[in-house]
């Protein structure tokens, strides 16, 4: 067993019009079921935390999503993070009020970095997860806005360091190159982030088999690994994954 905090396994549920969906490289979505029932099943199966992302956060979507957050909070007993369309403190207040433990900010924080200062200042940095969608191109990792649609000139490490300085409690890094293709996480980029940051780094994008989680922890030095389709479609049962990781000497909660 290695020392330090247990590594976390986090299923991620992308919610669109009240249903869980999953895409590949941020497109081609297919349905994966009721987010509340899935969340409850993951909680029972030993997931350490959950992430719910409202991927169509229009005004009407927000109402549906907030109601779903309340239903999730009533059914599960593990921490959960919500994201999507969080642009102001009022959004954070609404979602924490509905029962969420943390909020994840992405595009809004890139456009207005002081949002991170505001959230951590009002609610504590443990509530603020800074999600970063980045794509490796032209010799660097560039951050993207709007669910991977708009490239910015911000670089992954530089933005992650600023988010940390502004009070983010965790970085959730999704490699757009690896998302949904199941060939493993972006371990070199993860290791770079883990070496330079003092806050936890969550790996996202690329899980296809149990060994990929092991690599994210060993090579990528991630604090947590997040995945969607391998969990939603039953390809990797969480209890089996945790037993495997424990057998490989990774400290996980069983």
Looking at residue 2, what is its pLDDT?
A: 41
- Mean pLDDT within 20-45: 78
Looking at residue 32, what is its pLDDT?
A: 67
The total of other beta-carbon atoms located within 10 Å of residue 74's CB is 10
Looking at residue 181, what is its pLDDT?
A: 84
Taking the model in full, what pTM does it have?
0.93
Is 80 exceeded by the pLDDT of residue 23? no
Query: What are the residues whose beta carbons fall under 8 Å from the beta carbon of 137, sequence distance 6 or more?
Result: none
Whose CA is closest to 205, among 218, 222, 194? 222
Q: Lowest mean pLDDT: which of 4-13, 18-27, 79-88?
A: 18-27
Looking at residue 27, what is its pLDDT?
A: 54
Query: What are the residues whose beta carbons fall under 8 Å from the beta carbon of 97, sequence distance 6 or more?
Result: none
Query: What are the residues whose beta carbons fall under 8 Å from the beta carbon of 248, sequence distance 6 or more?
Result: 214
1 pLDDT band, cuts 50/70/90, is very low
Name the residues annotated as catalytic.
14, 133
């Amino acid at each position: 067993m290695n020392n330090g905090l247990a590594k976390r396994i986090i299923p991620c549920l992308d919610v669109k019009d009240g249903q869980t969906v999953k895409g590949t490289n941020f497109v081609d979505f297919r349905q994966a079921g009721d987010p509340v029932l899935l969340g409850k099943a993951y909680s029972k199966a030993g997931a350490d935390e959950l992430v719910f992302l409202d991927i169509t956060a229009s005004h009407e979507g927000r109402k549906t999503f907030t109601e779903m957050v309340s239903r999730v909070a009533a059914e599960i007993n593990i921490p959960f993070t919500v994201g999507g369309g969080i642009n102001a403190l009022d959004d954070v207040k609404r979602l924490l009020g509905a029962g969420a433990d943390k909020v994840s900010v992405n595009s809004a924080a890139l456009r207005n970095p002081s949002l991170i200062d505001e959230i951590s200042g009002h609610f504590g940095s443990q509530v603020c997860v800074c999600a970063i969608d980045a794509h490796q191109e032209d010799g660097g990792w560039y951050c993207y806005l709007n669910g991977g649609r708009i490239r910015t000139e911000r670089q992954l490490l530089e933005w992650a360091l600023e988010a940390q300085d502004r009070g983010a409690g965790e970085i959730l890094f999704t490699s757009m190159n690896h998302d949904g293709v199941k060939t493993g996480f972006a371990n070199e980029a993860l290791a770079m982030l883990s070496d330079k940051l003092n806050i936890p780094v969550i790996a996202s994008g690329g899980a296809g088999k149990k060994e990929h989680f092991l690599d994210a922890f060993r090579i990528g030095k991630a604090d947590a690994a997040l995945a969607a389709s391998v969990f939603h479609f039953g390809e990797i049962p969480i209890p089996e994954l945790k037993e495997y990781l424990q057998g490989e000497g990774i400290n996980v909660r069983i």
